[in-house]
A and B are shown apart, each in its own frame.
Chain A
Amino acid sequence: MAESSLTFDSVPAEKPARGSSTLVRVGKYTLVRGITLFITVVIGVYLTVLIANMGGYVDDIRRGEIQEQVSIRIMNDPALKNLPVEERRKRIAEEVALEERRLGLDQPFLIRSFRFLRNALTLHLGRAQLMTSDSGSRQVRLIILERLPTTLLLFGTSNLLLFFISLSIALGLSRKYGSLMDRVFVALSPTSAAPGWFYGIFLILVFAALLHWLPFGGMVDAPPPKDPLAYLLSVAKHMVLPVAALLLSAIFVSVYSWRTFFLIYSSEDYVEMARAKGLPDRMVERRYILRPTLPTIITSFALTLISLWTGAPIFETIFNWPGLGRTLFQAIGLFDTAVIVGSTVIFAYLLAATVFLLDIIYALVDPRVRIGGSGGRS
């Protein structure tokens, strides 16, 4: 349906001579955007480090790590087994001090902050104080990476659905402007003021608590089914409510704004002209309305994505979805600073990745980038 109307029918190299230079331009644009985004992430992560470390929390994370490593090493050292406890404790303290000096914890903050930045950027996120990954590791990186796929699954599904459903509805409504459906969508658009988790509560209340049709939360049934197909079905069943909640919270306003957008564009002279030529409606829509507006649509979709991403901690908490957001929430509860900082860093990366992906698509559909027009900036 909507996907067919989204194929950009002129992207394939109609003129082979131009094809390579288009690729170069898109590549260059992508590279520039990639670098910009990377710088953005660096700044974002540095800010995170600054915020987190103002109370000396990053230092605490590092010190805890050193303490643990050193104690384990000395406890397990057969040569030191026979030392009295007092002696051994003294030894640990000495080694910890040495290690701290080696890692530069006695250096001024400015220098250290850059080291933290490098560690964070390379995902050396330290060890969690209390939380463990499902495989039992204390590595923050493992804890987070383990939860990442589930978050991507939930938000990826709902965002793709949101994009295609609202685009196709918006196109349909702009065609039947003023119809009952159109008015219903316009009237319902203010409901998007509430975030996804809010609708989640209502959906859980109705479909889980009252009707018992769908599970309250979680990702699979309590003993996960052995059969892969059953497992998949179970996950799908658990995804119905969260996806519905996200859609419910965002669909009306995005349909409304895109429909309005299409309506404004469909009164442009060149569209009238195309109609006057007698081109079929679908072609007018695809070539004369959708094509020129696609870059804008993608930009606004990127913004929607960012806001949905950012809402993940609370959303996953409400639905008990074992993803990154809920990990962050649990980390707050346990005051596990390493995980909190680590999650924020990952979130910055995720946002950048989302925007980067959309930027590539943007470059592919924006004629200014493709043909090499004046500005390529969004």
Chain B
Amino acid sequence: MGSLQNTLRELRRYPSAMAGILVILGLVVFSAYTVITIPYEQAITLWRGGADIWYKLPKNVPPAWINTFRQKKLPESIILDSAQGQAEKTKEAMSSGQNMINLTYTFDFNADDFPRAMVIYFRPTFDEKSPFVSLTWTTPDGREIRLGDFAVEEGTVFRFEQDERLQRRLKRTIGDYPAQVALLMQPDSDPPTPLKGTYTLNISAVTFEEEADVDAEFIAYGKVYGIAGTDHARRDLKIALMWGAPVALAFGLLAALGTTITTMIIAAFGVWFSGWVDDLIQRVTEVNLMLPLLPILIMVGTFYSRSIWIMLGVTIALGIFGGSIKTYRAIFLQTRESPYIEAAQAYGAGDVRIVMRYLVPRIIPVIIPQLVTLIPTYVFLEASLAVLGLGDPILPTWGKVIQDSLANGALFKGLYYWVLEPAGLLMFTGLGFAMVGFALDRVFNPRLRGL
């Protein structure tokens, strides 16, 4: 493959092309990593999962790394589950089958802002008589605050802010703030500032059966999460952003390859056979150029199936007789007159052989840049469909994240990360391919060289 090496050497002269190649390689590695670490099935279950999977994550929060650029650090989530051993658990027997279970959650709070909400999920095990718990909150400066006493059933959830008795008590003692603010603030600070230090939450439960037990999970929902943040359904955006890469690459590459190769072969046959074949191809191309691609895809998506593979098929089908047929045709028309074609005819080569072996290879230099520059077009087409709400119903893609964000008013609410992350990735991908494509165009087109 001497020509390939030559091309690469030529490409090295263009810094943008090298950057583009790095981006593409990076995307390929990233996609491979994604597909290996989060298998298809798992990604889909996670992305389509509801509250049962994602209840631990805060809603609509930006990624955690934005704290690096902030003076006032936003809190991350604190998740302590006694069933996982993240709380100190003691159990002592009392009279007549009663047990006293003590759960102590200790955590440091050092952020400059309050958590979004605080919740305790109770998971008691008992047969008949439900256990009774009392909750106490200890601040770093040693104040003890009673949070509440109540019986817990399977599935009891204690939401600090929504507990009216707690709110009333806090209003009397600390001030009229939501519980997660009142419990973590420095007393008498206005506006409330968090009191940093070590907090303790104590749950003491009394069980009335020999085998009964109580476990509880304490969650203080933060205002930042993970590497990518979360969306309105508390889902970790990381999954969609990661899976968007292989989907975008596959869609872009397959669509570009499918359309370019078929277009090229059709143009070659048209030129070679000329006459009515050529005329027919020309007319079909003209008709096809007038077909509104996006509205047709929209119709297919609405009436039949939104599956990304159906969309891919329709895109390729509508792209076969694309505008580039005219470009290819012009080149083939010149090539057809070359002496070597005549020579091939003279030795008795058949039509198909001449087209496939002598005509088509001549156009490769034109086609490669075209192919590469087409890829981002199709990547963005997929995103466009997704933004219109016609994204694949199952797969998480970048376009679907953008659609979610726009549909939920991310721009109005200032949740910019939600739009910018998928958009940035799309831009990154698009630019990578486009830069390589433009450079290739200059390498392969002698007329453009040096321009």
Q: Judging by beta carbons under 8 Å apart, are B434 and A193 in contact?
A: yes
Task: Give the 5 A-B CB pairs with smallest separation, nearest first.
Answer: A190-B434, A193-B376, A193-B434, A347-B292, A193-B430
**B163 proximal to A (CB < 8 A):** no
The number of A-B residue pairs with CB atoms under 8 Å apart is 148
Which residues from chain B contact A337 at a C-beta distance below 8 Å?
302-303
CA gap between A319 and B212 in the complex, in Å: 59
**B191 proximal to A (CB < 8 A):** no
For chain B residues 285-331, which have a beta carbon within 8 Å of chain A? 286-287, 289-296, 298-304, 323
**B438 proximal to A (CB < 8 A):** yes
Q: Binding site of B, secondary structure by majority: helix, strand, loop or mixed?
A: helix
**A23 proximal to B (CB < 8 A):** no
**B377 proximal to A (CB < 8 A):** yes
**A260 proximal to B (CB < 8 A):** yes
Q: Judging by beta carbons under 8 Å apart, are A264 and B431 in contact?
A: no
Q: Judging by beta carbons under 8 Å apart, are A204 and B411 in contact?
A: yes
For chain A residues 191-209, which have a beta carbon within 8 Å of chain B? 191-195, 197-198, 201-202, 204-205, 208-209
For chain B residues 270-296, which have a beta carbon within 8 Å of chain A? 282, 286-287, 289-296
Q: Judging by beta carbons under 8 Å apart, are B287 and A205 in contact?
A: no
A/B interface sample: 30 pairs, CB < 8 A: A44-B287, A44-B291, A48-B296, A51-B300, A55-B304, A187-B16, A189-B434, A189-B438, A190-B20, A193-B376, A193-B430, A204-B411, A205-B416, A209-B412, A209-B416, A216-B412, A260-B448, A264-B447, A264-B451, A310-B294, A311-B294, A318-B387, A328-B295, A332-B298, A332-B301, A332-B388, A337-B302, A341-B299, A344-B292, A348-B290
Given A55-B304, A190-B435, A263-B451; A344-B388 close (CB under 8 Å)? no
Q: Judging by beta carbons under 8 Å apart, are A310 and B295 in contact?
A: yes
Binding-face segment, A35-43, A84-92, A157-165: A35-43
Residue of A193, A205, A312 ringed by the most chain B CB atoms within 10 A: A193
Q: Judging by beta carbons under 8 Å apart, are B296 and A51 in contact?
A: yes
Q: Judging by beta carbons under 8 Å apart, are A309 and B303 in contact?
A: no
- Residue of B390, B423, B437 near A332 (CB, 8 A) is B390
Q: Judging by beta carbons under 8 Å apart, are A344 and B303 in contact?
A: no
**A295 proximal to B (CB < 8 A):** no
Residue of A192, A337, A377 ringed by the most chain B CB atoms within 10 A: A192
Q: Binding site of A, secondary structure by majority: helix, strand, loop or mixed?
A: helix
CA gap between A218 and B328 in the complex, in Å: 42
**B178 proximal to A (CB < 8 A):** no
**A32 proximal to B (CB < 8 A):** no
Q: Judging by beta carbons under 8 Å apart, are B286 and A333 in contact?
A: no
**B114 proximal to A (CB < 8 A):** no
CA gap between A317 and B403 in the complex, in Å: 11
**B433 proximal to A (CB < 8 A):** yes
Q: Judging by beta carbons under 8 Å apart, are A303 and B323 in contact?
A: yes
**A360 proximal to B (CB < 8 A):** no
Q: Judging by beta carbons under 8 Å apart, are B290 and A41 in contact?
A: yes
Chain A 115-135 against B: per-residue CB contact (8 Å), 1 yes, 0 no?
A: 000000000000000000000
Q: Judging by beta carbons under 8 Å apart, are B302 and A340 in contact?
A: yes
**B380 proximal to A (CB < 8 A):** yes
Which residues from chain A contact B420 at a C-beta distance below 8 Å?
205
**B249 proximal to A (CB < 8 A):** no
Residue of B299, B390, B430 ringed by the most chain A CB atoms within 10 A: B299
- Residue of A191, A195, A202, A340 near B384 (CB, 8 A) is A195
For the complex, count residues of B whose C-beta is within 8 A of A.
52
Residue of B282, B294, B323 ringed by the most chain A CB atoms within 10 A: B294
CA gap between A317 and B388 in the complex, in Å: 8
Given A340-B298, A347-B292, A355-B290; A197-B304 close (CB under 8 Å)? no
CA gap between A47 and B220 in the complex, in Å: 57
**B258 proximal to A (CB < 8 A):** no
CA gap between A163 and B423 in the complex, in Å: 27
Which residues from chain A contact B301 at a C-beta distance below 8 Å?
332
CA gap between A313 and B303 in the complex, in Å: 17
B interface residues with partner A (beta carbon < 8 Å): 16, 20, 282, 286-287, 289-296, 298-304, 323, 373, 376-377, 380, 383-384, 387-390, 402, 406, 411-412, 414, 416, 419-420, 423, 426-427, 430-431, 433-435, 437-438, 447-448, 451
Q: Judging by beta carbons under 8 Å apart, are B16 and A190 in contact?
A: yes
Which residues from chain B contact A318 at a C-beta distance below 8 Å?
387, 406
Q: Judging by beta carbons under 8 Å apart, are B294 and A313 in contact?
A: yes
Q: Judging by beta carbons under 8 Å apart, are A44 and B290 in contact?
A: yes
**A52 proximal to B (CB < 8 A):** yes
**A231 proximal to B (CB < 8 A):** no
Which residues from chain A contact B286 at a C-beta distance below 8 Å?
36, 40
- Residue of A198, A347, A355 near B295 (CB, 8 A) is A347
Q: Judging by beta carbons under 8 Å apart, are B388 and A194 in contact?
A: no
Given A52-B299, A208-B411, A260-B448; A193-B373 close (CB under 8 Å)? yes
How far does the Cβ of A158 sit from chain B's closest Cβ, in whole Å?
17
Q: Judging by beta carbons under 8 Å apart, are B291 and A348 in contact?
A: yes
Which residues from chain A contact B402 at a C-beta distance below 8 Å?
201
Which residues from chain A contact B388 at a C-beta distance below 8 Å?
313-314, 317, 329, 332
Q: Judging by beta carbons under 8 Å apart, are B384 and A311 in contact?
A: yes
Which residues from chain B contact A51 at a C-beta distance below 8 Å?
296, 299-300, 303
CA gap between A318 and B388 in the complex, in Å: 9
Q: Judging by beta carbons under 8 Å apart, are A313 and B295 in contact?
A: yes
CA gap between A303 and B289 in the complex, in Å: 8
Which residues from chain B contact A343 at a C-beta distance below 8 Å?
295
CA gap between A303 and B326 in the complex, in Å: 12
Which residues from chain A contact B303 at a C-beta distance below 8 Å?
51-52, 54-55, 57, 337
**Looking across the interface, which residue of chain B has its beta carbon closest to that of A341?**
B299
Q: Judging by beta carbons under 8 Å apart, are B384 and A205 in contact?
A: no
How far does the Cβ of B411 sit from chain A's closest Cβ, in whole Å?
5
**A248 proximal to B (CB < 8 A):** no
Q: Judging by beta carbons under 8 Å apart, are A197 and B299 in contact?
A: no
Which residues from chain B contact A306 at a C-beta distance below 8 Å?
289-290
Which residues from chain A contact B438 at a C-beta distance below 8 Å?
189-190, 256
Which residues from chain B contact A201 at a C-beta distance below 8 Å?
402, 406, 411, 419, 423
CA gap between A282 and B388 in the complex, in Å: 47
